Each structure stands twice: as structure tokens, then as C-alpha cells.
Amino acid sequence: MKNLLILFFVAITSFSVVGFSADGSQKYVQISNQKQTESDKIIIYEFFWYGCPHCYNIEPTIDQIEADLKKDTILIKVPVALRNTWEIHAKAYYALQQMKLDDDLHEKIFAEIHVNANRLDTEEKLVNFLNYEGHDAQKFSKILNSFGTEIRVKKASRLANQYQITSVPTLIINGKYRTSGSYVSSYEELYDVVQLLVDKERIN
């Protein structure tokens, strides 16, 4: 990866700070001057939607960020339902997570939607997909509609509201910084920005 970007800061309000690169382009926004998580670890939240093509394209970068994490940092995926039609995908993610299938099927779901043009936007389509992949579709359907899944989806929505998420993909670093693909010129640069912000938190 490239060397980390050299950034300087300009305060725009008493609440937020914008990070710029040497060429004057904005790379991230500081949304708080205090850590907003209770964990002892540095937390990177990835807000995404399976139907989003940019979320699909950014996945290799997210995978690289996660692979290179040190022990003091974790990445948490948050499927956000910014529209009612997105909720089925948020429920699907949390159902698969409870079945311990999220690692196995996460990228396959992205590919099914964006490569095979199967939107997986109904329970029936998701059940058929689980059957095709050789997993227990009946168990999936039960968990998909469970109270536990509903609670997880609501918690994700509250988190998205807390960080004022209005588009995906968006990354929140330790509750203090927001960045995304729209802030950078390449996904490689996004990797560098995330590493820089994690390092800032590690120093603090």
C-alpha cells in the first residue's frame, strides 16, 4: 500500500473537523472529539447494503483492511436499512450471522446480486439461494423472522442514526471519524486514510 497520506486539519464548527490531503481534497470528517464506543479496542464500523454497487466494489478493500488489523482493532459490519426495501438484506445478514454463515456467504450474496443479477430482495429468493448453497433454508427462514433478528436490525438503525449515516458505504472509525469511497480518489487511498485514522486513535 502507499505511504499514509499527510493530512492537515481545518475546524469548520465546534463539533466537526475536516481532514484534507496536501492537494486540498477532503479525505474524512471528524464527527466527535471523543471516543463514542465502550470497547477497549479501536472499532471500525462499515455501514453497507447488499444492493449497493459501491459496497460490492469496495469489499476487496474492506477485506484487506480487516486482514491487516492489529489485535487492538476490530471491524464490525453494519447492514443499514436507509429505505424500507433495504430491510430484507439487513435481516438476511443478521440471520446468517446467527447461523455462523456470514463469513461464508457474505461475498457470495454480493456476487449473486451484482454479478448474477438476482436481487435477493424477497424471503423466497433468499431461501432459494440458501438451498442452492447447500444450507438449512428452513432454519434460515425461521431466524430471518425472529425477534432476535428484529432487535439486531433496530440496533443497526439506531447506530446509523447516531452517526448520521445517509449513504453507503460509510466507515466510522472509533466513533470519531467518518470516511467513504466518495472522499478519496481510489480504494487504495481509502485503505491509507483508514490506517492513518486508526493510528491516530492508537496514539491517543
The verdict on residue 140 lying in a domain is: yes
Would 182 be classed as within a structural domain? yes
Residue 123 lies in a domain: yes
Q: Which helix (H) or strand (E) holds 7?
A: strand 7-11
What is the spatial distance between Cα 125 and Cα 133, in angstroms, rounded to a whole number? 12
Domain assignment of residue 112, yes or no: yes
Is pLDDT larger for residue 18 or for residue 175? 175
2 within some domain: no
CATH number of the domain enclosing 165: 3.40.30.10
Does 105 map to a domain? Answer: yes
User: Would you call 35 exposed, middle or buried from its count of C-beta atoms within 10 A (0-12, 13-18, 19+)?
Assistant: middle
Range of the domain at 50: 7-203
How many CA atoms lie less than 13 Å away from 75 in the CB half-sphere? 20
Cα 84 to its chain centre, rounded Å, is 18
In a domain, 1, yes or no: no
Q: How much is the pTM?
A: 0.89
pLDDT tens string 185-195: 999 999 999 99
Rounded to a whole number of angstroms, the CA Rg of the chain reads 18
Total domains present in the chain? 1
Q: Domain for residue 194, yes or no?
A: yes
* pLDDT per residue as tens digits for the range 49-82: 999 999 999 999 999 999 999 999 999 999 999 9
